[in-house]
Chain A
Amino acid sequence: MSEIRVENLSKAYASGRLALTSASFKYEGSGAIGYLGPNGAGKTTTLKLLTGLLRPSAGASYLNGVNVIQDRKHALEDVGCVIESPEPYPSQTVEEAIEMVSDFRGGPYRSLAHDIADLNVKLELPPLKSKTGRLSKGQRQRVVIAASLIRDPRVLILDEPTSGLDPKERILIRNLLNDLKKDHLILMSSHLMQEVTDICDQVIFINQGQILLRDTVENVATRFQARAVDVEFATPIVLDRIRAIGPLVQDAVVIGERRYRLTFDGSNSSRAEILTGLVKLGPVLSYQSASLVLEDAYLALMGGEPAPVAGAPAPGLHLPPPPA
């Protein structure tokens, strides 16, 4: 069974700076895990420790049950990685670069052309005979993603896989990862909340080398329940009338021609009462949580605004309690 396991993993640099402090997590089977945190939080350090690019100061990491430091070759046997900004030899063609990875991983040579053709369709690769040194950043990124997928490894470790890609390319990768996560285990770091929301089933939040929260996206959404709702009316409504619904509405702003965002305390009872008030103002076409749940959680955990719930402990140190 596919497995990514980290046990009390720590990394201190010679300068004394602690890049990672006693991180532990374990995932098995299939699915996608988002690894979130600001720059310098320890995301890439964790992924490098997981793949043997760095050596831990303490603790251990395992891929498919094999200790990465003790037996790197077998630990990485069934693992595809995109860490930092990988670059094939600039003189290699796209085809040669993917072939090289395939040769190191092993597999039936006669199916290689078919596998590359398959990846070419999925990732819209640049011409296979073009030199990788002459590709744009986005093209090169698609080539290294293709190389990470050749021979179909069961575990994928991706460090901001859509970095440097244009919106069309991002959609391509997002769709591919959504397809892959059905029978692969994917750990991906990202800065893009929407990307993590769209792809991942679970999330890990990390800051200053410490894991702050690990949970399913659904639970995080519940825990950091949206304190904002978006409402769309059939006809424009004067903003003051919305604000006049009552004290439950803390604020209201216009976000579209007939669309408004209301902030409130986040509880389900308030949410229901506000809807009752809104319906009295005019026909409501839609009423839903503002789609920023992970972003709210991120900001709360990393010490930004807004705070998770009124009266919650200091952000970044403790988790807010689930709403009643």
Chain B
Amino acid sequence: MKGAKLIAVMAILVLAATAAHAGILENVKKAGEIKVGVSGKVPGFSVPDQNGVWSGMDVDFGRAVAAAVFNDPGKVKFVPVTTSERFTALQTGEIDILSRNTTWTFQRDAKQGIDFCGILFYDGQGFMVNKKLGVKSAKELDGASICIQIGTTTELNVSDYFAANKMSYKPVVFESADESTVMYDTGRCDVYTTDASGLAARRTTLSKPADHIILAEVISKEPLGPAVRHGDQQWGDIVRWTLFALINAEELGVTSENVDEMMKSTNPSIKRLLGVEDNLGEQMGLTSDWVYRIVKHVGNYGEIYDRNVGPDTPLGLERGPNALWTQGGLMYAPPVR
């Protein structure tokens, strides 16, 4: 089989110059599964359980796309990719979607040959301190020692923030998040900083979680979202509108439980969304009931959020900026019409 693959590689090498590439959607349908690049190491976003079953926000988003394309959320293959190889994996077609808590930045969008498809989670860097310090705001952190992971944007953000506020700090850098958490717990530094979603996860691992508070200030913008390879508009549209469909479904009150009743709704927006009226999905290469499939199998955005990182999970994250725009958050999706 390896031999066959090698021969195939050679053949493709010869043909590559002339052959036109089929769209990703075609390839995905032919393969019968979508390859989604995930991290595998971020609590609440993508992590396998003890039986090897994946869960998390990033994972559920991949399942939503699979539900839209195949009407089966199981037809998705999760490929763990590291931070350094994630963009290459996307460019070379090793994965079809990168759903790996990746921050949407100008450079990545413009130069890396990939396209971001919206924002799945608004994250931002925050601070955690021990209640004993009596600190109420990040502005009071002048002179504090801060546990940071080396070589991350968090390191640069802290430096920017303290310089902008004319404060000083002592960085205590560590190689891994685990290490810095343990060191923070033993009192090696006053402040622990990372993305807000990570802070909540890390707090649960401290010896006395209740003794620590997460300060309200968020000092950076970390919009996390799925990305696809640059150049295939149709596939980009499918991924982008899967995300918008999830948000629209929550806004219109369509959940995995009531979606069957909602099919009989008289609200024209819901009718359009679920494909009762018009056949919008078909214009994208899918079926008209694509949103019905997504919501039926995976749920709407709110359900995904609550299931993986919401207040009832060990992470216990409030919606905050990830609430719908109608409820004071930033989640806003263009209408399906």
Q: Do A and B come from one complex?
A: no
Binding site for B on A (CB under 8 A): none
Binding site for A on B (CB under 8 A): none
